[in-house]
Amino acid sequence: MSANRNLHKAKSNKKDEFYTQLVDIENELRHYSEHFRGKVIYCNCDDPRVSNFFHYFAYNFRVLGLKGLSDTNR
């Protein structure tokens, strides 16, 4: 087994769902907040209740000045 043993193990156990951590999303997207003003954000996620990207945009909707927020589950 190669150095990425955890990924191979998750694949064989069918536990291959990995989510971007909210803190990582916050740290990266704070650099682009001016680009979101007046925009509709479309999150391509199976379930917005567990999507950290959806959570970030919903929580920061007013601060970012978003026009709308949508996901593939609706």
Q: What is the pLDDT of residues 54-65, one digit of tens each?
A: 999 999 999 999
Amino acid at the residue 64:
L
* Domain span including residue 58: 20-71
Asked if the structure places residue 42 within a domain, the reply is yes
Rounded to the nearest angstrom, the gap between the alpha carbon of residue 68 and the centroid of all alpha carbons in its chain is 16
pLDDT digits over 2-51, tens only?
567 777 776 676 555 567 899 999 999 999 999 999 999 999 887 888 89
Asked if the structure places residue 10 within a domain, the reply is no
Asked if the structure places residue 9 within a domain, the reply is no
Asked if the structure places residue 1 within a domain, the reply is no
Asked if the structure places residue 7 within a domain, the reply is no
Which residue blocks in 1-74 are alpha helix, DSSP H? 5-12, 22-29, 33-36, 52-59, 61-64
Q: Give the predicted TM-score (pTM) of the model.
A: 0.73
Asked if the structure places residue 48 within a domain, the reply is yes
Asked if the structure places residue 57 within a domain, the reply is yes
